């Protein structure tokens, strides 16, 4: 019996985000970013039309789910351009790793394209990761032509350095406790042009302090682009220092009676993680 006779495809219903996020992490388990994708986070993003409008509330049909025996095995998210109604984007497409995965994915793709055609769409852009060979192969089979040759550039800007570091405090503490610096105590002053913020670290626990200590253990000065790349894991502190994008004083700090490079501590706080979003390329 073919997969087509075993499955149903329907539109999004409140609560589906739990299965959607489960499939997302199965397909993109290595995906990391400033904010972890959770069911609540996914719902929040799509309720307010995170990427493009209309949102999932305004248009539940923009999320298609494929089920077999009531189990969600795949989902696809598209958005029809509000102003140019002939344009649409396929932005999330995940199918469970099953023996008939290719057939299931084709059913889901055909369903979305049929629905978009009925809506009068004549141009569809499929946004996917260049490292996702399954999705790339599917795109090629359905006749999508590659538009971008290089990875998409994501731009970021730090509006409040203090708020940014406050958001990262739990991550800082976890990273410190797993490192050689888990028993280190001291203060780190970050300077970003007119913005300043100070971390107080004590044996694997990081917190923000409102007043700069009279004597800081480590002073770090950098710029907008560098701090964004450090936070996103796209740049190591050592590399930034060698390129003269980051200033550190002093260059060495005491750790358990030994002298260690200050940049090693920064690499613990801001680990390298050169990732790409699941929709980093367009087809």
Determine if the pTM surpasses 0.75.
no
* Residue 203, in any domain of the structure: yes
81, 214: one domain = no
Give the tens place of pLDDT for each residue, 51-67: 556 678 888 899 999 99
CATH number, domain of 256, equals: 3.30.1050.10
Give the tens place of pLDDT for each residue, 246-265: 999 999 999 988 999 999 99
Q: Is there a cis peptide before residue 250, judged by omega within 30 degrees of 0?
A: yes
Residues in the chain: 283
Evaluate if residue 235 carries a pLDDT over 70: yes
200, 130: one domain = no
| Whether 137 contacts 106, CB under 8 Å | no
133, 185: one domain = no
Please tell me which of 47-61, 147-161, 194-208, 230-244 the model is most confident about, judged by mean pLDDT.
194-208
* Residue 230, in any domain of the structure: yes
| Whether 247 contacts 222, CB under 8 Å | yes
SS3 114: helix
**Nearest to residue 25, comparing CAs of 94, 83, 84, 87?**
94
Domain endpoint, select from 145, 170, 205: 145
Half-sphere exposure of residue 159, counting CA atoms within 13 Å on the CB side?
2
* Residue 88, in any domain of the structure: yes
């Amino acid at each position: 019996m073919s997969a087509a006779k075993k499955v149903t495809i329907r539109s999004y219903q409140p609560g589906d985000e739990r299965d959607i996020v489960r499939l997302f992490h199965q397909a993109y388990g290595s995906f990391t970013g400033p904010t972890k994708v959770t069911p609540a986070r996914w719902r929040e993003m799509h309720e307010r039309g995170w990427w493009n409008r209309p949102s999932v509330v305004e248009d539940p049909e923009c999320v298609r789910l494929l089920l077999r025996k009531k189990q969600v095995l795949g989902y696809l998210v598209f958005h029809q351009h509000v102003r140019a109604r002939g344009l649409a984007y396929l932005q999330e497409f995940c199918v469970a790793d099953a023996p008939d995965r290719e057939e299931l994915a084709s059913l889901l793709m055909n369903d979305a394209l049929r629905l978009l055609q009925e809506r009068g769409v004549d141009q569809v852009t499929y946004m996917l990761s260049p490292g996702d060979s399954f999705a790339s192969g599917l795109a090629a089979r359905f006749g999508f032509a590659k538009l971008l040759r290089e990875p998409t550039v994501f731009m970021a800007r730090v509006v409040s350095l203090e708020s940014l570091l406050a958001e990262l405090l739990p991550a800082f503490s976890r990273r410190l406790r797993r490192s050689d610096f888990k028993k280190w105590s001291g203060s780190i002053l970050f300077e970003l042009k007119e913005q300043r913020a100070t971390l107080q670290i004590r044996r694997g626990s990081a917190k923000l302090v409102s007043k700069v200590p009279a004597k800081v253990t480590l002073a770090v000065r950098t710029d907008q682009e560098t701090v964004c790349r450090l936070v996103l894991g796209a740049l190591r502190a050592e590399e930034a220092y060698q390129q003269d994008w980051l200033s550190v004083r002093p260059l060495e700090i005491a750790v358990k009676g030994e002298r260690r490079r200050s940049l090693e501590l920064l690499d613990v706080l801001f680990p390298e993680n050169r990732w790409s979003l699941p929709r980093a390329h367009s087809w």
